């Protein structure tokens, strides 16, 4: 579940963590479900897609619904994820750490808004612990009548299935849902494998003993099992659920990029293989079938990485207590209303900027954004003006330099030196990436301002950017931010 950032200590780069359960997360199956719209593009033949329609399970979440919000521009799809580990083999459960009994519950909800011109998809995550008011309804399990009452939003599915889930989301967002998709993660490892894997870049080693994830720093082509580990992991560092949400968003963008650029769209055999694997674990409303997929896919065939954007409903209060329910997340009433208004009016949540010719943001990927790193520059040589040149170049790249470079000694330093307090090690590694060939040296007690002493080897400051950081009022991440540079 994507959640707001955990609290941070002002004295360290490492955020505090909190313990939560370890249900499998399903950013991967969300990504594949979204990409099936793209996979429906022209060139594969109507008969191929139509033959797959019978594999989709059907539900009627809109039956007898009254007083629904007015429709806006574009198409809104409610994606609901359920726990399907009962369909995983014992070998896969052991290998990918999928122990425990299935809960047959919703784990995540996302609203996918496809723009009216089919040129953009906006994905908004709804945290499962969101405070919600469930409308009056009859419990699908007991038959008991319930008046409107407060719950965590994921309880809507348990009490009233797809219909109550749709009613609750529409009631809270004011958005009319045009379609409903319900998925589990059981077939998506195979889907990723059929696509030939998905490329992910990591700025540092990533290991999680809970999921078995073990990736060195660098570029990786994840197979289906590794992808499942990647989107589930929350113990790779101190970022907990915030980091997991960012990885899910990065994976979704990378999978869409893979699907649109791998030749699947124009290969009927591969398309059928991917789509049949995907649709084997999907339930949808009656109106969302092969014809609709073809229509959406045909006009989305020119999707670029920046065509997808990802955000989470803005949270106003964490830990909001509700009697009999526990701690919930309460939405920010002003920002959330504005976000849903943007979707209703079919406006993008973020506008890509600073892209290179391939639709990607330039620069090497680092752990900490340069805008968060404070630097004092010293001239470690007898070259007049070198300190000023280094300070100006770092500031132009985004680092928060003091703007007052100082002399660093009387003898020439041959190798540029980055000194840092060990508590700011992530910032130091990010800074060193911008200074190719520099030496890293920890200095206890140095404090939050990093020290750069320019040596005679200095040639340039390399442009860097943080991993998939959100921007704008809704902390939105675009797909181009998530691709490998």
Bridge-partner residues for 452, per DSSP?
Answer: 377, 418
Residue 261: count other Cβ atoms within 10 Å of its Cβ: 12
Helices (H), 345-414: 386-397
Alpha carbon distance 418, 413 (integer Å)? 12
What's the pLDDT at 346?
93
Six token digits for residue 475: 């902390």
What's the pLDDT at 49?
59
Asked whether residue 244 falls in the same domain as residue 389, the answer is: no
Q: Is 149 left (phi over 0), alpha (psi -120 to 50) or beta?
A: beta
With a threshold of 0.85, does the pTM exceed it?
Answer: no
Asked whether residue 309 falls in the same domain as residue 412, the answer is: no
Asked whether residue 393 falls in the same domain as residue 313, the answer is: no
Asked whether residue 307 falls in the same domain as residue 448, the answer is: no
The answer to whether residue 474 sits within a structural domain is no
Six token digits for residue 74: 């574009």
> What is 52-105 written as a DSSP string?
TGGGSEEE-TTTT--SPPPP-SSEEEEEEEE--GGGS-HHHHHHTT--S----S
The answer to whether residue 320 sits within a structural domain is yes
- How far CA 395 is from CA of 135, 189, 365, 374, 389, in Å, comes to 53, 44, 18, 10, 10
What's the pLDDT at 4?
41
Asked whether residue 50 falls in the same domain as residue 94, the answer is: yes
Q: In this structure, are strands 149-152 and 179-183 parallel, antiparallel, or unpaired?
A: unpaired
Asked whether residue 147 falls in the same domain as residue 225, the answer is: yes
CATH number at residue 393: 3.30.70
Q: Which of 306, 339, 359 is the last residue of a domain?
A: 359
pLDDT tens over the chain, length 485 residues: 344 433 333 333 433 333 333 343 444 445 445 555 554 444 445 565 566 677 678 889 998 888 899 988 999 999 887 755 566 667 766 666 666 555 555 667 889 999 988 888 898 988 888 999 988 887 767 788 888 899 999 888 888 889 999 999 999 999 999 999 887 666 667 778 878 888 888 877 888 887 788 888 888 999 888 888 887 776 766 555 556 666 777 787 787 777 766 666 666 677 777 777 767 667 888 888 766 765 665 555 566 667 788 888 988 887 889 998 998 889 999 999 999 999 999 998 875 444 444 444 466 778 788 888 999 999 999 999 999 999 999 999 889 999 999 998 778 899 999 999 998 888 999 999 999 999 999 999 999 999 999 999 999 999 888 765 555 677 787 776 666 76
What's the number of CA atoms in the CB half-sphere (13 Å) around residue 155?
17
Residue 484: count other Cβ atoms within 10 Å of its Cβ: 15
The answer to whether residue 158 sits within a structural domain is yes
The answer to whether residue 20 sits within a structural domain is no
Asked whether residue 214 falls in the same domain as residue 336, the answer is: yes
What's the pLDDT at 69?
94
Alpha carbon distance 111, 118 (integer Å)? 16
Domain count, the chain: 2
The answer to whether residue 453 sits within a structural domain is yes
**Closest C-alpha to 244, from 256, 253, 235:** 235
Six token digits for residue 198: 């998905």
Asked whether residue 330 falls in the same domain as residue 444, the answer is: no
What's the pLDDT at 204?
78
Burial of 140 (0-12, 13-18, 19+ CB in 10 A): middle
The answer to whether residue 16 sits within a structural domain is no
Asked whether residue 320 falls in the same domain as residue 378, the answer is: no
Asked whether residue 316 falls in the same domain as residue 285, the answer is: yes
Q: Which of 324, 339, 359 is the last residue of a domain?
A: 359
What is the residue range of 377's domain? 368-466
Q: How many residues does the chain have?
A: 485
Asked whether residue 398 falls in the same domain as residue 355, the answer is: no
Asked whether residue 299 falls in the same domain as residue 431, the answer is: no
What's the pLDDT at 374?
92
**Closest C-alpha to 137, from 120, 162, 115, 114:** 162
Q: Which of 299, 324, 359 is the last residue of a domain?
A: 359
What's the pLDDT at 477?
75
Alpha carbon distance 412, 146 (integer Å)? 78
CATH number at residue 162: 3.40.630.190
**Closest C-alpha to 456, from 418, 419, 417, 412:** 412
What's the pLDDT at 423?
87
């Amino acid at each position: 579940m994507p959640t707001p950032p955990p609290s941070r200590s002002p004295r360290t780069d490492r955020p505090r963590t909190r313990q939560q359960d370890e249900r499998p997360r399903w950013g991967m199956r969300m990504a594949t479900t979204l990409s099936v719209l793209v996979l429906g593009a022209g060139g594969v033949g109507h008969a191929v897609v139509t033959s797959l329609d019978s594999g989709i399970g059907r539900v009627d979440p809109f039956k007898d619904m009254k007083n629904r919000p007015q429709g806006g521009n574009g198409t809104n799809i409610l994606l609901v994820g359920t726990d399907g580990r009962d369909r995983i083999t014992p070998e896969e459960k052991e290998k990918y750490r999928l122990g425990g009994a299935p809960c047959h519950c919703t784990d995540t909800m996302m609203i996918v808004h496809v723009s009216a011109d089919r040129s953009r998809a906006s994905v908004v995550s709804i945290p499962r612990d969101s405070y919600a008011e469930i409308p009056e309804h009859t419990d699908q399990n007991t038959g008991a009548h319930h008046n409107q009452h407060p719950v965590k939003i994921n309880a809507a599915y348990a009490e009233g299935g797809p219909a109550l889930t749709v009613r609750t989301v529409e009631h809270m967002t004011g958005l009319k849902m045009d379609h409903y998709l319900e998925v589990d993660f059981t077939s998506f490892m195979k889907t990723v494998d059929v696509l030939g894997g998905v490329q992910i870049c990591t700025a540092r080693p990533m290991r999680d003993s809970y999921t078995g994830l073990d990736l060195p720093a660098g570029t990786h082509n994840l197979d289906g099992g590794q992808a499942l580990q990647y989107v589930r992991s929350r113990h790779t560092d101190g970022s907990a659920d915030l980091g997991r949400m960012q990885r899910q968003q990065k994976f979704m963008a990378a999978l869409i990029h893979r699907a649109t650029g791998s030749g699947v769209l124009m290969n009927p055999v591969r398309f059928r293989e991917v789509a049949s694997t995907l649709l084997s674990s999907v339930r949808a409303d009656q109106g969302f079938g092969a014809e609709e997929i073809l229509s959406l896919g045909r006009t989305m065939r020119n999707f670029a990485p920046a065509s997808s954007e990802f955000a989470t409903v803005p949270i106003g209060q964490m830990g909001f207590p509700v009697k009999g329910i526990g701690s919930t997340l309460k939405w920010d009433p002003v920002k959330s209303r504005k976000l849903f208004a943007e979707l209703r009016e079919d406006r993008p949540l973020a506008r890509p900027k600073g892209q290179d010719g391939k639709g990607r943001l330039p620069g090497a990927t680092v752990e900490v954004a340069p805008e968060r790193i404070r630097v004092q520059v010293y001239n470690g040589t007898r070259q007049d003006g070198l300190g000023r040149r280094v300070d100006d170049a770092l500031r132009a790249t985004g680092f928060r330099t003091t703007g007052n470079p100082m002399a660093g000694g009387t003898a020439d330093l041959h190798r540029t030196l980055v000194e840092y307090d060990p508590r700011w090690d992530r910032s130091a590694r990010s800074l060193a990436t911008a200074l190719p060939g520099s030496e890293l040296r920890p200095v206890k007690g140095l404090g939050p301002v990093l020290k750069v002493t320019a040596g005679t080897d200095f040639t340039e400051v390399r442009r860097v950017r943080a991993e998939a950081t959100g921007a704008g009022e809704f902390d939105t991440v675009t797909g181009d931010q998530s691709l490998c540079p």
